[in-house]
């Protein structure tokens, strides 16, 4: 009997229930309060809740959890969707954000990369680009 079929009948597997998107991601930070400033003030994310160990932020469909950790300063592998990496770069330079990658074409679109206050690398990628390998 397949798992999840309480009646023991034959069950045909489809794509129902399979992942369709990344819903939320966690970013390691040393000091939650200090890091909230970067994500809320610079990236204009809304703080939903926070305590000493974590903070929950959202902007549009982008949801993140800042989680207190001693292991920071990593390439998170996270790509936040933006309309234009060029416009985002122009705006964030004015905010004093450190860029570690100038806008560059990748298979999923043009992206650039920034460093947060804990030296974590966050990528910003255009959302409407076609895949090109």
Q: Dump pLDDT digits (tens) for 21-67.
A: 888 999 999 999 999 999 999 999 999 999 999 999 999 999 999 99
Residue 5 has pLDDT above 70, yes or no: no
CA separation for the pair 92, 66 (Å, rounded): 20
- 0.75 cut: is pTM over it? yes
- The SS3 of residue 93 is helix
Supply the DSSP symbol for 52.
S
Q: Report pLDDT for 9.
A: 66
Residue 123: which region, alpha, beta or left (left: phi > 0; alpha: psi -120 to 50)? beta
């Amino acid at each position: 009997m397949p798992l999840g079929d309480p009646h023991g009948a034959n069950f045909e597997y489809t794509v129902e229930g399979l992942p369709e998107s990344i819903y939320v991601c966690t970013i390691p930070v040393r000091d939650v309060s200090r890091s909230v400033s970067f994500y809320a003030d610079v990236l204009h994310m809304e703080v939903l809740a926070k305590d000493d160990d974590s903070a929950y932020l959202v902007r549009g469909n982008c949801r993140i959890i800042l989680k207190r950790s001693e292991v920071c300063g990593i390439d998170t592998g996270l790509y936040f969707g933006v309309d234009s990496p060029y416009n985002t770069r122009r705006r964030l330079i004015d905010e004093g954000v450190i860029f570690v990658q100038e806008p560059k074409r990748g298979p999923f679109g043009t992206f650039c990369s920034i460093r947060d206050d804990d030296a974590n690398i966050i990528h910003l990628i255009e959302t409407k680009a076609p895949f090109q390998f």
